[in-house]
Structure 1
Amino acid sequence: MINVSKLYCGLAGQSDALRYSSEKTHRPIAVYNCTVRCNLKCLHCYSSSGASKSASELSTSQAKELISQLADYRCPVVLFSGGEPLLREDIFELIAHAGKVGIKAVLSTNGTLIDRSRAARLAGAGISYVGISIDGPELFHDKFRASKGSFQATMQGFANCRKAGIRMGLRFTITKHNAGQI
């Protein structure tokens, strides 16, 4: 949604400015699918995610080098996605490294793994924003994510982020099956 009031009053944040500004000085953001591992089996998933680590998944040092190279290109934002990025044991280290080299770190997650400890670690690592996926009411969401209880776990993850002071939002995958429920 375009927040016209924020744009008109000059109160737009960085993401608003990147989206709606006509300035040619803005740089593209990077979406880094940092793992194909996932704890869910979502019906709509494009990444063939599963429990196994891919041979092509970058090591911690390789991932940090990639993030440093993005900084060299003046990339303003790196969005950690996947799979489920919280399954990377080093995700907090990678988020902190992004901040260290001047890149805002953003996380796209299903939210089910964000307990209080992980929320605190995300905040401590310097995460700028967490986008959490919800696909409709509880029964639909659990079916769509192929995991009973995932809706409640996701909502708890959202609450844990809020308590940790993390800026966040909900994300939706709209299909013909849930368009009337969102």
Structure 2
Amino acid sequence: MIHAPSPEIHTLGADIRALRKARGLTLSGLGKTLGRSVGWLSQVERDMSEPSITDLRHIASVLDVSVSSLFRSAAPEHERGMIVRADARRPIGSRPAGLVEELLSPDLTDDFEMVHSTFEANSEITEEVMRPTQEVGYIVSGRLDLWIAGKTFSLNAGDSFRIRGEAFRWMNPYAAPCVAIWVIAPPIY
């Protein structure tokens, strides 16, 4: 019987490297912004050095993610890098008022990420978002109004959408929350 090799266990360092690359930053550029040496940052990304909580706050700020998104889940060893339990999802993003996002992907090292988004009732973002990504979303429950490239769409449970680097914004003017699953490439959180 042939067994596939064990998948690499992804770590804090791998997540930081993936986020840095997704933002087009070099080791040198991020190190300079953080006031740290390339050697130190390289060791952090290879899990040879553990950053302090202050370092993590600075890294999260520069990479525009929440500090909590950098913390590893408490998954059992045999599940790490493969399984994300519903009660162990990592919160992500900057959380505009009324939006709660959780990472469904085990880590940030793939070519894409999956995000569970809950748009609270009567919430919205008023400024358009534009990012260099391709995104596909699926409305699991509720309703959501979405503006993509100046066009308005009202979405219901079961509907899906795609955004290819266009400016977009959302609004949930309805009485119930809207839950959506987003796939984003490359990872941005």
Q: TM-score range by the shorter chain?
A: under 0.3
Structure number with greater Rg is 2
Q: Larger % of helix: which?
A: 1
TM-score by length of 1: 0.23
Q: Larger % of strand: which?
A: 2
